Structure 1
Amino acid sequence: MNAVIDPEALHARAATTRMFQEAAEAPSVVGAQFVANRDVLAALAADLRRRPPSFIATCARGSSDHAATYAKALFETRLGVVTASVSPSIGSVYGVPQQLRDALFIAVSQSGRSPDLLRNAEAAREAGARVVALVNVADSPLADLADVVVPLHAGPERSVAATKSYLASLSALLQLAALWSDDFALLDALDKLPDALRRAWDCDWSAAGEGLVPARNLFVLGRGLGLGAAQEAALKLKETCGLHAEAYSSAEVKHGPMALVGPGFPVLILAQPDQTEAGTLALAGEFRARGAQVWLASREPGADLPVAVAPHPACAPLLLVQSFYRMANALSLARGLDPDTPPHLNKVTETL
């Protein structure tokens, strides 16, 4: 994939894709969602304070499962509640009942129609869990199974690559965590998040986009609250850009995978502005010393990719992903692909 595209022509064409247009809607979607969902999430949060769950189980696939990765870090760091991902296949293929009594079961889905998620949500309800559905189609079969439905309010999403619906999943989880924990600083950050997303959309990540045009493989690294963002970025690079990208925790990459990193190896690093940041920056320096091609997205001076200032560390993954989406859209075109219609993929995947 060595397509040569005039930069001005590429810039003009990039703005015409559905992926670009839908991702650009995310700030407005998130702002409207916070208003629309406040009452339902405040009621859920109050109920969770009265009857705390023994643990939280998430169930999702694809981009929605990356939102679940964010949920795990968010609920464990803000609420101290153990959160684990349930494999959809346990219920839909193996048919093994899970011990979910008094758990909070959160199913995340854009369409709300995938048979494996439906079977697991039904089994969770039968096992005595409170079932919450985060779903973009509010009258979907998944919504019918849930005790509480949290609409994503992302509106129609026609590009195969999920963008605004993914960010809407994160913002719904963030609002729930803020209300459940009654964290004033986090609640205040929600009001500032839509404008921060607009600033993130304007961040120029073209240096990474141009550098990745000839690439065949790369690592995408994040940690803690930022690991889900790394997973989402790696998926989109596979999906829209035909790039073999693998996501790792910036801690886990040292347990074997970093043996692959040598001169010229591409590494995209998404630094989370919290207690994990120092270690991530040190890792970026270590990879650079090996001669790797590093693109570091960070608030620190001298970073390769600029980031919008987050109103709260828990908001930072949404901003990083928003900046990434714009870059990935242009990179897909530069590699001679169409980000809206990746080969062999459908918008709704109904896994058994």
Structure 2
Amino acid sequence: MAREAAEAPHRASEQLHRNAALVREAGARLRRLAPPFAATLARGSSDQAAGFGKFLLERHAGIPVLSHAPSIGSLYHATSPHFQGIPVLAISQSGRSPDLLAAAEDAKEQGALIVALVNDTASPLAELAEIVIPVHAGPETSVAATKSFICTLVALMHLTAEWSQDPALLAALDATGDVLEEAARADWSDAVALVRDATQMLVLGRGPTLAIAGEAALKLKETSRLHAEAFSSAEVAHGPMTLVGDTDPVLALAPLDEARTGLRERLADFTARGAQVIAAGHAEDIEAARLRLPATTTAHPVLAAIAQIQSFYGFANALSIARGHDPDSPPHLNKVTRTL
């Protein structure tokens, strides 16, 4: 897991270079299509990536995005005829999960434009898609996805930049490799001692970091068997905050954009409750944290969010080992999810 996560910056840089013409053409095609909305189709970590894509497209391209549950097409066969001419972003590392394939086929029959973001370009999903965007993560043997997730986020940022023609987002692509290399070197190991014996944990994000928090919580469940749940820092006060007791850890992945609003006060509330707040972000936003993690605060907010999960993976690997688990082979999990 640690070795593969460390490969992500190089793989992401290589992806941007190899996909430059392909994604430019895909962005131009989607602009011409001018759909009223888009949809995502994914499971597991890929669904967290889909949430990141939803934020990107709604924030930077002005395209409403819905999450199309695979079971709606694969189990209920209730795909809407309103999918005619609608881009469906099908996200999968393997491109082989049966229910996702069935849902993608059903949507295609309804006239959807299937855009596949896959690591395996020889997969059935890639074969049925009209637009294929390879994430170029290379072989990934650890069951817990790391570099494939980061490369998928970079591919979504690239596609959104070309689709929207957002100048700042397009410019941020050039810094991707350097920012992720810096994030891979960031040492979050001081957080291990604060979380090693925990039985529950909240992970907070908002805006560009909400999906990052979701992926972090998922990885804590998978690799450390820690009951971690992700919430928006704006929503956590509506119930979940009452679950946090004295010494419970709270990991805050702070956004760098307007979604920072109110975070400083929220973390102060958690600290006042006795929570062990661990945070990454602008110093003034996370001053109430017991532990402030090293993180970039000068990159584009989208790229900075991707950098946070890059740094997190090293921590997750170390925490899993400290809790006596094997991060590479979580029990009951497989690389290809065969949901029926």
Bin of the TM-score, shorter chain as denominator length = over 0.9
Match of 1:72 in 2: 54
**Could you tell me how far 1:310 is from its partner in structure 2?**
4.7
5 Å-filtered alignment, 1:39-188, equals 39-98=21-80, 99-188=82-171
Indicate which of 332, 338, 350 corresponds to 2:326.
338
Aligned residue number for residue 10 of structure 1: none
Counterpart of 1:260? Answer: 243
- The residue matched to 2:210 in structure 1 has which SS? helix
* TM-score normalized with structure 1 length: 0.93
- Residue deviations 1:71-111 (CA, integer Å, cap 9, x gap): 11111000111011111111111121223112110000000
- Secondary structure, aligned partner of 2:116: strand
Q: Does the 8 A contact of 1:54 with 1:102 survive in 2? A: no
Gaps of 5+ in 2: none
Number of aligned residue pairs: give it. Answer: 334
Which residue identity lines up with residue 325 of structure 1 in the other structure?
Y
Q: Take 2:133 and 2:85, find their aligned partners in 1: how far apart are those partners?
A: 20
Alignment of 1:304-343 (within 5 A): 304-343=292-331
Amino acid at match of 2:41: C
User: C-alpha root-mean-square deviation of aligned residues, in Å?
Assistant: 1.1
Matches within 5 A, 1:173-322: 173-300=156-283, 302=287, 304-322=292-310
Q: Is the 8 A contact 1:90 1:96 kept in 2?
A: yes
Give the Cα separation in 2 of the matches to 1:252 and 1:89. 28
Q: Distance in 2 between matches of 1:71 and 1:296?
A: 24
Distance 1:67 1:51 in 2: 23
Gaps of 5+ in 1: 1-18
Q: Which of these residues, 12, 16, 41, is aligned with residue 34 of structure 1?
A: 16
1:13-66 CA distances to partner (integer Å, 9 max, x unpaired)?
A: xxxxxx000000000010000011111111111111112112110000000000
Name the SS of the counterpart of 1:73 in structure 2.
helix
Q: CA offsets per residue over residues 330-350 of structure 1, 9 Å max, x none?
A: 111111111001111112212
Q: Which amino acid aligns with 1:212?
A: V
Larger mean CA deviation between 173-182 and 307-316 belongs to 307-316
Q: Which amino acid aligns with 1:50?
A: R
Q: Deviations over 1:181-233 (max 9, x none)?
A: 11222111111111111111111212222211111100011011111100000
CA–CA distance in structure 1, aligned partners of residues 325 and 61 of structure 2: 42
State the one-letter code of the partner of 1:348: V
Q: How many angstroms apart in 1 are the aligned matches of 2:325 and 2:253?
A: 25
CA distance in 1, matches of 2:333, 2:218: 13
What is the letter of the counterpart of residue 143 of structure 1?
Answer: A
Kindly report structure 1 stretches of 4+ aligned residues shifted beyond 4 Å: none
- Quick one: distance in 1 between partners of 2:244 and 2:322? 25
* 1:113 match: secondary structure: coil
SS at 1:75 equivalent? helix
2:332 aligned with 1:349: no
Task: Name the residue aligned to 1:6.
Answer: none
Report the 3-state secondary structure (helix = DSSP H, G, I; strand = E; otherwise coil) of the residue aligned with 1:251: coil
**Which deviates more from structure 2 when the two are superposed, residues 236-245 or residues 90-99?**
90-99
Q: Is the Cα contact below 8 Å between 1:109 and 1:135 reproduced in 2?
A: yes
Normalised TM-score (structure 2) = 0.96
Cα distance, 1:280 vs. partner? Answer: 2.0
State the distance in 1 between where 2:120 and 2:189 align.
Answer: 34
Question: Could you tell me how far apart the structure 2 residues matched to 1:332 and 1:263 are?
Answer: 23
- The structure-2 alpha-carbon separation of the partners of 1:161 and 1:310, relative to structure 1 and needing over 3 Å to count, comes to farther
Using the alignment, how far apart are the partners of 1:271 and 1:281 within structure 2?
Answer: 10
Asked if the contact 1:196–1:309 (Cα under 8 Å) also holds between the matched residues in 2, the reply is no
Contact 2:217 2:229 in 1 (8 A): yes
Partners of 1:40 and 1:218 in 2: CA distance:
41
- Check whether the contact 1:196–1:310 (CA below 8 A) recurs between aligned residues: no
Query: In structure 1, how many angstroms separate the alpha carbons of the residues matched to 2:248 and 2:3?
Result: 32
How many percent identity over aligned positions?
A: 54
Letter in 2 for 1:105: V
